[in-house]
Amino acid sequence: MSNRARQPDLAVGAVVLAIVMLVQSATCRAQQPADPVAVELKRTGDVAIEAGKFQEALDSYTKALAIESSAALHYNRGRALQGLGRNSEALSEFEHFEREAPPPLRAAVPDFDAIRQQVRKQVAEVSIECDVPDATVRVLGKVLSLPLRAPLRFEPATIEFEIVAPGYESWHRHATLLGGDTQTFKPKLSRQDLRGTLLVASPVSGATVQVDGKAIGAVPVELRLTPGEHDIEVRHAGYRNARSRVVLRPTEHRSLSVSLDALPRWYEAWWFWTATGAAVATGIIAGVALSTEKSPGSGDIPPGRITAPLRLP
């Protein structure tokens, strides 16, 4: 075979060798765990990752880490996650490796910075700044307390965020996140409106409504009231005032229909007939008295016979 024919084969061989060396360095064989079971699990993971079986490798590395913590295992687990396209988790594993790896182990991965930057470009980060007490963020089925200890990381996608806090209206945001994005949300939560709704009506058209002593308007009226007790009064000329007390629960919606009793007309009132009856009775008595009056009598002492003195000395 000529030298020209061998040159492509040598080039391909060099590339394959470089890939093998990168995988070997990626699995950090120089830093084995001490526990025999963890060592065997790591070996199984190394074989799987070299074969492109990233889920099997991830399972083995995860089990090994549960037995013994190792910076090398975090790096290897990150590579398995990267192979599965779970870059946000892979980035966390690489950062763990960077914090814990001793210099010799760190030197065993000369391309580490480039690998980490490549993964970072596939990850979106979201920070949330909210100073409302007891606020939480709900995202992808998880509930996290605010403030966050670190930015949240996501694969590129459109994601819904919901922030809730006791006594406040919930805050929503649909965010489209791209690889390499860094976004900061500063939600302004509004106080929750706990007022109830009360609809006051009456079959008497034009009746007016007072609530807690304050004139509101003619029926029907719809009111937004704070939770608790409220005094309702409905008025109309010619009718007796109707009063009622309503207890509203937070955000409750209630209806109240108030009937009014008509006042009697002046000639139907009791005082009119009482006065009329008294006047009639008085007239009858006076008539009887006049019809029975007698002429003055002549007395029983004869004239000129008064013997008593006219005055005393």
Domain end point (choices 242, 257, 272) = 257
Phi-psi region of 228 (alpha: psi -120 to 50; beta: other; left: phi over 0): left
Q: With respect to residue 67, please indicate whether it lies within any of the assigned structural domains.
A: yes
Cα 191 to Cα 194: distance, rounded to the nearest angstrom = 9
Domain end point (choices 93, 120, 147) = 120
Per the structure, the complete domain to which residue 134 belongs is given by 124-185
CATH number of the domain where residue 74 is located: 1.25.40.10
Same domain for 115 and 27, yes or no, is yes
Q: With respect to residue 109, please indicate whether it lies within any of the assigned structural domains.
A: yes
- Considering its fold, how many domains does the chain have in total? 3
Mind listing the pLDDT tens digit of every residue in the chain (313 residues)? 444 444 444 444 443 334 334 444 444 444 567 899 999 999 999 999 999 999 999 999 999 999 999 999 999 999 999 999 999 999 999 999 999 999 999 999 999 999 999 999 999 999 999 999 999 999 999 999 999 999 999 999 999 999 999 999 999 999 999 999 999 999 999 998 889 999 999 999 999 999 999 999 999 999 999 999 999 999 999 999 999 999 999 889 999 999 999 988 755 555 555 655 655 555 555 555 555 555 555 555 455 443 433 333 4
Same domain for 107 and 63, yes or no, is yes
| DSSP secondary structure string for all residues of the chain | --HHHHHHHHHHHHHHHHHHHHHHHHTTTTS--SSHHHHHHHHHHHHHHHTT-HHHHHHHHHHHHHHS--HHHHHHHHHHHHHTT-HHHHHHHHHHHHHH--HHHHHT-TTHHHHHHHHHTT-EEEEE---STT-EEEETTEEEESS-SS-EEE-SEEEEEEEE-TTB--EEEEEEE-TT-EEEE---PPBP---EEEEEE-SSTT-EEEETTEEEEESSEEEEE-SEEEEEEEE-TTB--EEEEEEEPTT-EEEEE---PBPPPGGGSHHHHHHHHHHHHHHHHHHHHHHTPPPPP--SS-TT---S-SS--
Same domain for 88 and 143, yes or no, is no
CATH number of the domain where residue 203 is located: 2.60.40.1120
pTM for the full model?
0.59
Same domain for 170 and 76, yes or no, is no
| pLDDT of the residue at 7 | 45
β-sheet with 124-128: strand ranges across: 152-154, 124-128, 182-185
Tokens of 126: 């979201």
| pLDDT of the residue at 275 | 59
| pLDDT of the residue at 50 | 95
Same domain for 43 and 129, yes or no, is no
| pLDDT of the residue at 33 | 78
Cα 291 to Cα 130: distance, rounded to the nearest angstrom = 102
Q: Which of 150, 162, 158 lies closest to 178 in space, CA to CA?
A: 158
Q: With respect to residue 211, please indicate whether it lies within any of the assigned structural domains.
A: yes
| pLDDT of the residue at 34 | 85
Same domain for 114 and 128, yes or no, is no
Same domain for 43 and 74, yes or no, is yes
Same domain for 130 and 104, yes or no, is no
| pLDDT of the residue at 17 | 36
User: Distance of CA 27 to CAs 24, 48, 71, 73, 81, Å?
Assistant: 5, 11, 11, 8, 13
Q: With respect to residue 276, please indicate whether it lies within any of the assigned structural domains.
A: no
Backbone dihedral angles phi then psi of residue 51, each to the nearest 5 degrees: -90, 0
Beta carbons of 170 and 143 less than 8 angstroms apart: no
Same domain for 21 and 115, yes or no, is yes
Q: 286: buried, middle or exposed (CB in 10 Å: 19+, 13-18, 0-12)?
A: exposed
Beta bridge partners of 160: 174
Same domain for 31 and 82, yes or no, is yes
Same domain for 97 and 163, yes or no, is no
> b/e string for 44-64 if b means 16 or more Cβ within 10 A?
bbbebbeeebbebbbbbbebb
Domain end point (choices 257, 280, 303) = 257
Please report the sign of the dihedral spanned by the C-alpha atoms of residue 205, residue 207, residue 211, residue 217: positive
Q: With respect to residue 82, please indicate whether it lies within any of the assigned structural domains.
A: yes
Q: With respect to residue 290, please indicate whether it lies within any of the assigned structural domains.
A: no
Query: Hunting for tokens 């937070």 — which residue is that?
Result: 250
Query: Hunting for tokens 């459109």 — which residue is that?
Result: 158
Q: Which of 7, 11, 48, 13 lies closest to 27 in space, CA to CA?
A: 48
Q: With respect to residue 10, please indicate whether it lies within any of the assigned structural domains.
A: no
Same domain for 106 and 47, yes or no, is yes
Q: With respect to residue 9, please indicate whether it lies within any of the assigned structural domains.
A: no
Instruction: Please measure the distance between the N-terminal and C-terminal CA atoms of the chain and give it in whole angstroms.
Output: 190
| pLDDT of the residue at 305 | 45
